[in-house]
Amino acid sequence: MNPISLSTTEIRDLLSQIPDPEIPVISITDLGILREITIQDNICVISITPTYSGCPAMKMIEDEIVKKLRENGIENVKINMIYHPAWTTDWINDEAKEKLRAYGIAPPEKSTVNKSTLMGETKEIACPQCRSKNTEMISQFGSTACKALYRCKDCKEAFDYFKCI
Amino acid sequence: MTTQEALFNYCLRLADNHLILGHRLSELSSKGPLLEEDIACTNISLDLIGQANALLQYASSVENKGRNEDDLAFLRHERHFYNSLLSEQPNHDFAFTMVKQFLIDAFNFYLFDELKKSKDLTISALATKGHKEITYHLRHSSTWIDRLGLGTDESNKRTQNAINELWRFTDDMFVMDEADKILISEAIAIDLNTIKPKWHNTVNAAFEKANLKIPEKVWMQYGSKQGKHTEHLGFLLAEMQHLHRAYPGVKW
């Protein structure tokens, strides 16, 4: 077994090339799924956290991480699934939010889950296509658990909104 | 009963509630009343099964007998499942499905909110994560209670029928036994009596707003914490466990 020659920063750069399987315009580092990289006794330990508990993309992300590291000569990899702190949309940076918008997904509004979530009040969500705020929610659950389905009443396009959590 | 045994049992209860309810909801996949609802129910199901998976992984490490989360989900018999009687009830019509969902979502909402403070760090972490998702589940089902109750005479009648049918299983969710006692004394579990009034108020307010009533004088059914279930669980498990039992160790 060759010793790991890359630093954790170099490994992070490598892994930030891995796109999210469901939203390929942003990476697993943009989303905040990649939490920590450590090297112990020549084993590369990658800690990741799921966005949603049942996110079906997690297994694929694990496989992609292992594949990417293998390609770069790191054979000994351990994936560590962590649940604390719980993932939040607040970890998605502004640059990534802009990428989401350009891709056609309305990015999460600033604040995380609040009381209004429970009361059923909906926030004003801008259409990613025409930026109009004249939109309405069609369903709280869109193409994946992390998104809600909206419709723009001006340009008539349906679009996904990345829910705050 | 040792603390470890109590904790194992407690994790199974939390996991089984989610697993069985999640499986029931997954039955709507491709059969939802409308496309958006089909997708919503399947996504909620995925959340619940995902949370159950993490809880069963923890149960497996607490038990430490070499049974993994799949063994616990697919190889236990009916009498070793501890999900609430309410969670295993069949879906029937959509009003029935949503009333069941709402009663359990409201219970989970308050339970997981309290479990965030658990001294057990894994339970606290999973509750914190789970609670965020459950908040959306509750919002979804309470919207439907409103819509069905205030919809047509037919939708109100069906929703009221569902409440009348399901109410007898609600007390069962709040039963506590020795495992709870041990874990409450260690600040790991919570006293379910503290969340019952909050649950009741939320349910009552939602029903009143939607022209629905909690039935009076209902004979309550119990037994889930001793593994005594209604006849529906066996059929559900037969379907859920079939593949794993017929092809042991099979992988996608």
Confidence of residue A1 (pLDDT cuts 50, 70, 90): low
Residue A73 lies in a domain: yes
Res A114 pLDDT > 80:
no
Co-location of A102 and A147 in the same domain: yes
Co-location of A39 and A72 in the same domain: yes
Co-location of A106 and A153 in the same domain: yes
Residue B129 lies in a domain: yes
pLDDT value of position A80: 92
Res B72 pLDDT > 70:
yes
Which residues in chain A have Cβ-Cβ distances shorter than 8 Å to B61?
A: none
The CATH code of the domain that includes A35 is 3.30.300.130
Q: Cα–Cα distance between B87 and B173 in angstroms, integer?
A: 9
What average pLDDT score do residues B148-163 get? 98
Question: By residue range, what is the domain housing residue A44?
Answer: 8-81
Of A49, A81, A113, which marks where a domain is finished? A81
Domain count, chain B: 1
Record: contact B46-A54, CB cut-off 8 A: yes
- Interface membership of B86 toward A (CB under 8 Å): no
Record: contact B39-A139, CB cut-off 8 A: yes
How many other CB atoms are there within 10 angstroms of residue B17's CB atom? 27
Of A24, A56, A81, which marks where a domain is finished? A81
Record: contact B139-A113, CB cut-off 8 A: no
Which residues in chain B have Cβ-Cβ distances shorter than 8 Å to A140?
A: 40, 136, 139-140, 143
Confidence of residue B37 (pLDDT cuts 50, 70, 90): very high
If you measure CA to CA, which chain A residue comes closest to B121? A84
- Interface membership of B203 toward A (CB under 8 Å): no
Residue A2 lies in a domain: no
Co-location of A77 and A98 in the same domain: no
Minimal CA separation from B245 to chain A, in Å: 23
The CATH code of the domain that includes B38 is 1.20.1260.10
What average pLDDT score do residues A14-42 get? 92
Residue B252 lies in a domain: no
- pLDDT single digits (tens) B89-144: 999 999 999 999 999 999 999 999 999 999 999 999 999 999 999 999 999 999 99
Minimal CA separation from A94 to chain B, in Å: 22
Q: How many contacts does A have with B, using Cβ atoms within 8 A?
A: 87
Which residue among B121, B133, B146 places its CB closest to the CB of A53?
B133
Which residues in chain A have Cβ-Cβ distances shorter than 8 Å to B17?
A: none
Q: Cα–Cα distance between B151 and B148 in angstroms, integer?
A: 5
Residue A130 lies in a domain: yes
Residue A1 lies in a domain: no
What average pLDDT score do residues B74-94 get? 97
Residue B242 lies in a domain: yes
Residue B168 lies in a domain: yes
Is it true that the peptide bond before A19 is cis, omega within 30 degrees of 0?
no
Co-location of A54 and A119 in the same domain: no
pTM of the predicted structure, to 2 decimals? 0.91
Strands, DSSP E only, in A49-119?
77-81, 105-106
pLDDT value of position A110: 67
Minimal CA separation from B217 to chain A, in Å: 30
Residue A58 lies in a domain: yes
Which residues in chain A have Cβ-Cβ distances shorter than 8 Å to B45?
A: 54
Record: contact A83-B125, CB cut-off 8 A: yes
Co-location of A76 and A110 in the same domain: no
Sheet of A135-139: strands edge to edge?
Answer: A105-106, A158-162, A147-152, A135-139
Q: Is A20 helix (H, G, I), strand (E, B) or coil?
A: coil
Max distance between CA atoms of chain B, in angstroms, equals: 54
Which residue among A50, A86, A144 places its CB closest to the CB of B43?
A144
pLDDT value of position A2: 73
Which residues in chain B have Cβ-Cβ distances shorter than 8 Å to A138?
A: 36
Question: By residue range, what is the domain housing residue B209?
Answer: 3-246
Give the bridge partners for A34, in sequence order: A48
| The three-state (H, E, C) secondary structure of chain B, written as one string | CCHHHHHHHHHHHHHHHHHHHHHHHHCCCCCCCCHHHHHHHHHHHHHHHHHHHHHHHHHHHHHCCCCCHHHHHHCCCHHHCCCCCHHHCCCCCHHHHHHHHHHHHHHHHHHHHHHCCCCCHHHHHHHHHHHHHHHHHHHHHHHHHHHHHCCCHHHHHHHHHHHHHHHHHCHHHHCCCHHHHHHHHCCCCCCHHHHHHHHHHHHHHHHHHCCCCCCCCCCCCCCHHHCCCCCHHHHHHHHHHHHHHHCCCCCC
- pLDDT single digits (tens) A39-84: 988 899 999 999 888 888 888 999 999 999 999 999 999 999 999 8
Co-location of A155 and A107 in the same domain: yes
Which residue among A83, A112, A145 places its CB closest to the CB of B47?
A145
Residue A149 lies in a domain: yes
Q: Cα–Cα distance between A98 and A67 in angstroms, integer?
A: 28
Domain count, chain A: 2
Residue B139 lies in a domain: yes
Of A81, A106, A135, which marks where a domain is finished? A81
Residue B136 lies in a domain: yes
Co-location of A143 and A117 in the same domain: yes
How much is the mean pLDDT over chain B?
96
Q: Cα–Cα distance between A54 and A56 in angstroms, integer?
A: 6
Co-location of A71 and A39 in the same domain: yes
Record: contact A149-B53, CB cut-off 8 A: no
Residue A30 lies in a domain: yes
Co-location of A71 and A12 in the same domain: yes
Pick from B35, B70, B139, B203 the residue to mutate for testing the A interface (most A CBs within 10 Å). Answer: B139
Co-location of A41 and A102 in the same domain: no
Res B174 pLDDT > 70:
yes
Residue B251 lies in a domain: no
ipTM exceeding cut-off 0.85 for this assembly: no
pLDDT value of position A111: 60
